[in-house]
Chains A and B, each alone.
Chain A
Amino acid sequence: MQKEDAALGEDNVFNDDVIIELAKSKPNGISNIDIKNEIPDVLPEIWTKSINKLLKSGTLELFKDKGTLLYKYKDPSTKTEVKGSDNEEKVVYKIIEEAGNKGIWIRDIRFKSNLNMTQLNKVLKSLETKKYIKAVKSVAASKKKVYMLYNLEPDSSVTGGAWYQDQDFESEFVDVLNQQCYRFLEGKRDAAIKLGGGPLMCRNRSYVTATDVHKFISELGISKVQLSVDDIESILYTVVLDNKAERTVNPNGEYLYRAINPFLKSPGIVRTTCGICPIVERCGDAGLINPKSCKYLTEWLND
């Protein structure tokens, strides 16, 4: 993965400039289609990355015009200019700007600006109506808002990334991916066993990297959003936490995953109703809940 990263890095540098030049040449903004036409030989994954980076740094601004997204070049010298604002607004704007696309919450703005709450609220309102800044709900804590510059795309730590849709965590999506990732690991292991050879070969053949799994998941087409290799890495870790896989590091510092079996079949105690009974604390000899008439036990006995 390191090698790949390095390759991506080079492309990034190259592309950033290309895109800045493109944007400069069209003061009214460039669309995705424009970019594709101008640099057809560069993969979209690569140039969207640098677009995102430029948006984050404020070099590009995002606009919507008749339903198409346009990127506009923003001269760095005018970047921090807040027209028609008083000093307080400038200070607050600066603070918010520094926070980048991770945003900053109101308490911290207050600390840094030394304004009192009423003042600060007024300033924020004003900046918001002028569309210099916006408030974004953070997934980290419900009801907590963070402020950032109006044209920024919030960081995935704020939106939650691929796993969130409007602040709601998509559990089912994660579950499906968890299952599919395990299925892939399992398939790898079974194939390795079938191929035979010594146990060492068998074990080594059943290792996969997140990139392998990423490819498999992308080809499955079950995800409506674009998942990154890191996203898959996160999912794979949940498979590890489910004790269905193990994770090791190869000499390149890359994580390797492999399906594993448990030591034990389910322990005897959980094969009874009492071992998993939710009301076991209230179950006794006297009283309504007791083993003699317990209907969980009756059902289990008649199974």
Chain B
Amino acid sequence: MSLQHRNVINLILLERFGKVIADVGDIIFQNPSSLYNIVKSADIRISKVKEALSVLIKYNLVTFKLNVDSSAAIYMLNLKNVLLMLRFPKFINLIKTKFDETYEVLVEEILLKGCVTASELIIKVAKRLQEQKTVNILLQELKDNFNSLVTAKYVTRLSTQVTKAEELYLLPNLDLKQILTVLNGENETLSDAGIYWTINSDRFHQDLRDQLIVNSVSNKFDDNMGELIRLLLQQMYVRTDPWVSSSNPIPILEVKDIVKKRNTHPQLATFFEQYVNILEQDATGIIRKVGEASGGSFQVEIKHIFTQLTWEAVEEIVNEKFDSKASRIFRLVKLRHYIEPEQIQNLVMIPAKEVKRILYMLLEENFLVVNELKRSATSLGPSKSFTLFHIRLSQVVRTMLELCYKTLYNIMTRRCHEKYLNKRLIDKKHRVDTITHGMRVQGISGDSVLDIEEMITPPENEILERIGKMMKKLSLTELEIDETLFLLEMYLKYE
């Protein structure tokens, strides 16, 4: 846990929850503490700290346990979940592409709330979508969709110490009549009060992981191969736990039948065996043949895939951060595992001086390590020891993680700063928008609305437009950095 990590966490909390919560978060980031200690070191009123903690707990960002002598609860920050908030847009998008809008809104509301009871969730979403459908149909649809989100494990019961494993995906007992009455503004205790639901990030990660694999394979080979690996993954789930490092054997005929039936990829259907062959023979070792019976069965080597992808990402980072000569050297060291500097020069075909400079640079930035081997004393010859270069991937990955955190922090800082610099103008625009919106709702239009709108001068509009573009670019970049983070996390998960 580094300074970079701490900075990013702090900034995320600050942006989403404000200063008090960020401060409290920072204290327990450094040291899991009791309420008393937090109050003491934060210099914030106890009621405020309590409030902050309860918000953090509700969003599953803080966990607690009893201290050793059971006298007080110790609060800890759940770092993973804080960072996860950056990934929420991707979660929402995933649901949107996989299902439809009602699902999307359901997931979005859960993410906004942190955790929520099923009835409350349905009420909330129904209010948002009311205008599109008749209420009765809508409520039934929402109930069904919520249930399928639970069945597919995208949503899970918020677990406490007393929750049993089998309860996690047990469908709630929902009374739609009750919900309707509450929706109409009356008070009633809902049938599922006290049972809270939250999203199951593991399930989302599983989808994102599969998506990444399919996209990567499509990039490297073609769309047909992408489809093949997609179906292999799909069939993998029939017999295999989602997070094991290599799948149980999958009978290939099963996949072939699906390809034939679906008929979306005629090329794949015609040359099915060839595609399987190519994938199996490929140096990347994505799948492995483990049985000959009935057309053969194959294992998907998921851990191996992520090692490969991570190597490639790291190589690409070396390529961009330094240059193509550096990535060439880096790849040679990877292929040879251990290599002497003299050997490098001939194989990479780069002048000796340049090779030395690059090696030094890579060493300096922790991409390489050196092993000194002492030659046995008896052997003659000028050098008494020799140097071997080597790469420790897990160390490089950690360096990369740090770089990601730092970059995220910088990008977010810049975004906040630009907002701050233009705060007055942005606020003004907000006010104007609110007023004109209000007028339109009241049915006022024409010149009076225009007058208000013109309070923002053309040059101001230009600036606003520029800022808008900038914010978009910065937010998009944050998502892209998170993609790299995701890949590195996957690597570490399988390590």
Please report A residues at the B interface, Cβ cutoff 8 Å. Answer: 107, 111, 139-142, 163, 168-169, 171, 174, 178, 198-200, 203, 234-235, 237-238, 241-243, 246, 248, 260-272, 274-276, 280, 283, 285, 291-292, 294, 297, 301
Contacts and interface: CB of A to CB of B under 8 A. Distances in A.
A117 to B, nearest CB: 15
A264 B315 CA distance: 11
- Which among A142, A163, A242 has the greatest number of chain B C-beta atoms within 10 A? A242
A269 B404 contact: yes
B374 interface: no
A43 to B, nearest CB: 29
Contacts of B349: 163, 174, 178, 234-235, 238
16 contacts: A107-B382, A171-B351, A174-B350, A178-B349, A203-B278, A262-B220, A263-B217, A263-B309, A268-B484, A269-B480, A272-B411, A272-B480, A291-B409, A291-B417, A294-B414, A301-B474
Nearest to B267: A199
B434 interface: no
B352 interface: yes
Given A274-B407, A294-B414, A242 B327 contact: yes
B326 to A, nearest CB: 11
B453 interface: no
B352 A267 contact: no
B462 interface: no
A297 B328 contact: no
A271 B480 contact: yes
A241 B331 contact: yes
Given A238-B328, A292-B417, A301-B470, A269 B317 contact: yes
- Which among B283, B319, B350, B414 has the greatest number of chain A C-beta atoms within 10 A? B414
A189 to B, nearest CB: 12
Nearest to B325: A171
A200 B328 contact: no
B89 to A, nearest CB: 14
Given A203-B278, A270-B321, 17 more contacts: A139-B352, A199-B267, A200-B277, A235-B349, A238-B328, A242-B327, A263-B219, A272-B411, A272-B477, A280-B406, A283-B406, A283-B410, A285-B413, A291-B410, A294-B414, A297-B414, A301-B473
- Which among A142, A174, A271 has the greatest number of chain B C-beta atoms within 10 A? A271
Interface residues of B, number: 65
B271 A199 contact: yes
B229 to A, nearest CB: 12
Given A163-B349, A241-B328, A275-B407, A266 B320 contact: yes
Contacts, number: 151
Interface in B474-495: 474, 477, 479-484, 487
Contacts of B331: 241-243
A274 B275 contact: no
Contacts of B321: 270, 275-276
A-B pairs with lowest CB-CB distance, top 8: A268-B480, A291-B410, A270-B320, A169-B351, A263-B216, A274-B407, A269-B484, A200-B274
Contact of B275 (A199, A265, A271): A199
Contacts of A178: 349
B317 A270 contact: yes
A267 B316 contact: yes
A267 B485 CA distance: 10
B347 interface: yes
A291 B414 CA distance: 6
B274 A243 contact: no
Nearest to A193: B222
A265 B477 CA distance: 15
A198 B438 CA distance: 63
